[in-house]
Structure 1
């Protein structure tokens, strides 16, 4: 253990007293022993203090904090505070309802050391009502393309980082967004890391749980906040692709996604619709699959009202007549 560098496992939590014990048990079970586990409570109203306190009392490697007011409410603020409090050479963010398989840290550390990389990405399983399903992965295309086209699910538990890489590039979680924070975070990572400094494997080393109390399991009805977060992500992917990768497939995909958000926003009178519109008309052109592609946007939106039809037609006439 003395020869192993310290790994900081950072876990934000909110009202997960009924779940976090199993997560912390999976941390204790790691074959890699030199870790600290920093749990940051985001303002729980259940008995999280009591549950986590029992682990802290039994094992000094557990450290428990409450998110201070200097960080915004939400998982991202808790993650950033945990990072600030970490002492390890390596960083593993994790969630308070997921499980580490016992070799997770050991296998990722072995790979990151062997490949001399700043980042190691593994994969795992999704637990859907007790059924374990492999998380999708496609190693045949570039990591950025995997990420942009959602060919590989890059989730919080997938990555083990060298802390010095994160600090050198000032990479933290965006505390102002509530949805898609993992994707925005990893986009920042991929825009700042050299391809040669990433090692990716098909090793399945964690279980990502889907249930009603997780953000992933909640009903995703329209909200201005969610639309803004998604548009921001797609715009950043689009700009990063335009600057570095220049992949037409990624470009088309992102424009379709943003156009769908635009059409949804005008249907629901979202005040951000004008901003979305302005970005789209700056980046769409006659040669981009022409009007045929734009009609795909309308089909995927699924609305039949006269209002959205007129708005859509007006959009096409203004930009493609």
Structure 2
């Protein structure tokens, strides 16, 4: 029996420094039945040339280019429309997967009859050096917990498109992944992560908390727009969100001795 196809959704914009390594981390997977769908958002550097070179040597890599810069949400949505796999996975153009990422997650989903899962992940700096920081999550993540904190790293999520259908990606530029996970958990009530680190999240200098104020603004928008809460309701939710970030979430961030 042929293994199910995994469609990997990757938006890119001016990622010439990182995209080759990201693609290589997909090609290094022990699970090889995948398609990598990259949608470039009008890069002005050598990103497209690098992707084209890889795609010319691997038919599983597909490149699509937007006609104008439209943001990550539109790029992900465009890639999703092209996806043909049973499973939908996400990987941003500067992040990396560990070689057994897909295999372990798909085995975990099958063994536990799960239509969705994610995993822990490690943090690296701009040049790929380990920051000795691992981001974990509750082992039984509820919708309510996710409502006040996005515990799910975008680079780790996988869902079964036969179960959910293709979940629409919001067209906003930030926090689309959080809204997508909320849509999933609203249907299944809770999620289980693979309890180990399967990916590397790159923290770049120009995006380190690129600013805390921006983060608050984007999260407030999720509560007011996606959840359609009024000013008072959205404000109360933001207080709960900030409490979670400052008091609860640090329990799931661990100092480790990591190597790549």
Over residues 180-199 of structure 1, what are the superposed CA-to-partner deviations in whole Å (9 max), with x where a residue is unaligned?
2222222222223343xx43
Query: What is the CA deviation profile of residues 230-282 of structure 1, one whole-angstrom value per residue up to 9, with x for unaligned ones?
Result: 22323579889xxxxxxxxxx99625258x9xxxxxxxxxxxxxxxxxxxxxx
- Secondary structure of 2:218's counterpart equals helix
Partner in structure 2 of residue 127 of structure 1: 124
Deviation at 1:61, TM superposition (A): 0.8
How far apart, in 2, do the equivalents of 1:8 and 1:157 lie? 13
Moved more, 42-51 or 185-194: 185-194
Residue in structure 2 matched with residue 80 of structure 1 by the alignment: 77
Aligned length: 235
Displacement of 1:122 in angstroms is: 1.2
The answer (yes or no) to whether the contact 1:11–1:38 under 8 Å persists in 2 is: yes
Query: What CA deviation, in whole Å up to 9, does each residue of 1:128-185 have, x standing for no partner?
Result: 462231103232x5432432343x7212112111112342xx622211x223222222
Partner of 1:138: 138
Q: Could you state the TM-score of these two structures normalised by the residue count of structure 2?
A: 0.80
Equivalent in the alignment of 1:18: 17
Distance 1:143 1:158, change over 3 A: farther
Structure 1 counterpart of 2:170: 174
- Structure showing the higher helix proportion among its residues: 1
Q: SS of 1:123's equivalent?
A: strand
Partner of 1:199: 192
In structure 2, the residue matched to 1:231 is 220
Q: Is residue 202 of structure 2 the alignment partner of residue 209 of structure 1?
A: yes
Higher strand proportion: 2
Residue ranges of structure 2 left out of the alignment (5+ in a row): 243-260
1:127 deviates by: 1.3
- Among candidates 153, 156, 159, match of residue 154 of structure 2: 156
In structure 1, the gaps of 5 or more residues are 241-250, 261-321
Distance 1:75 1:237 in 2: 17
